[in-house]
Amino acid sequence: MVKLNLSGIFPPLPTSFDKDENLLPDKIRHNIEKLSVYGLSGFLILGSNGEQVMLSEKERSEAVAAAREALPKDKLLLAGTGGQSTRETIRLTKAAAAEGADAVLVINPFYFKGLMTHEALVKHYLDVADVSPVPVIVYNMPGNTGIDMTAAMVIEMAAHPNIVGMKESGGNVVKMGEVLRSVRPDFQVLAGGAGFLLPALSMGAVGGILALSNIAPAQAIEIYRLFLAGDMVNARALQHKMIPVNAAVTARWGVPALKAAMDHLGLYGGPSRRPLLPLKNDIMEQLLKLISESEIKQFPV
């Protein structure tokens, strides 16, 4: 029995702010409504692209509530709730569940890098899973945290019945295989980046939480569909086509570029919170060129 079916594509929605960096719950709802016509499996609110680390606890609850309101009941709402302490993570997890999150995505604590041993991290996730009202998904994001959780850690965490999957954002497809060969059959791995969606699926991932799917939901879903249909040639061609624009809105220019792309395509992007800076003009030009070359379409008004 799979508790939660994580198959398919989930956008990690950016959090909307006005020009003074105040939270705009209305724009969160607006974006979810616009994106909900594409056959996505649900949304992640308050992931890395959601600037989670920049929100107060109160704002986090408001963002989850807004997302839940806008999202049809048959779509999954995942909420990012990882903090630096087990205590904070549990508090955020309970709050997100109370606001209607179906599952929580928990990034590992990472400030005290030298002390984040196998034992410390495994215990942290088990402690959170023990009391979480909703299933827990492990979130590995070494580019931001500076810690790359090992397959051995995830395998040990996966023995907990309330830990149902992992998002691997480091692009380590070998680790995905190591995990999948060793865990219970219903533990689900999600790709954390559109650049390696097809290789991840080939290794056994069931889908992805992909920044790119905020601006190119149709294309992300199409790669997934072509893979399921066994059409590797066209899946690969579309995967190749998406790589540059995906890099632009993730590793290269990050959340501000993703938001700028959303603004350009007919969603609400808006500013990021400082110290994230708006794109410079020359970067904006390069971004628009990459979007144009990728044949990503404007969202209908």
Kindly provide the b/e burial profile for residues 128-140, where b requires at least 16 CB atoms within 10 angstroms of the residue's own CB. bbeebebbbbbbb
Query: Under the criterion CB under 8 A, does residue 166 sit at the interface with a second copy?
Result: no
Closest among 298, 199, 281, 177 to 243, alpha carbons compared: 199
User: Of 33-41, 97-105, 130-138, 192-200, which part binds a second copy (CB under 8 A)?
Assistant: 192-200
What's at 66, amino acid-wise?
A
Query: Under the criterion CB under 8 A, does residue 19 sit at the interface with a second copy?
Result: no
Q: What is 207-229 written as a DSSP string?
A: EEE-GGGGT-HHHHHHHHHHHHT
Task: Round to whole Å and give the CA distance between 79 and 101.
Answer: 6
DSSP code at position 47:
S
> Is there a contact between 111 and 147 (Cβ–Cβ < 8 Å)?
no
Query: Under the criterion CB under 8 A, does residue 24 sit at the interface with a second copy?
Result: no
Query: Under the criterion CB under 8 A, does residue 150 sit at the interface with a second copy?
Result: no
> Is there a contact between 206 and 188 (Cβ–Cβ < 8 Å)?
yes
Residues in contact with a second copy, shown as a per-residue x/- string from 195 to 234 under the rule CB under 8 A: xx-xxxxxxx-------------------------x-x--
Beta carbon of residue 145, minimum distance to a second copy (angstroms, whole number):
8
Candidate list 16, 41, 188, 239; residue touching a second copy; CB under 8 A: 239
Query: Under the criterion CB under 8 A, does residue 243 sit at the interface with a second copy?
Result: yes
Interacting residue ranges for a second copy, rule: CB under 8 A:
21, 48, 51, 53-54, 56-57, 84-88, 109, 111-117, 119-121, 123-124, 127, 143-144, 146, 171-174, 177-178, 180-181, 193, 195-196, 198-204, 230, 232, 235-236, 239-241, 243-244, 247, 251-256, 273-277
Which residues are tagged catalytic?
Answer: 167
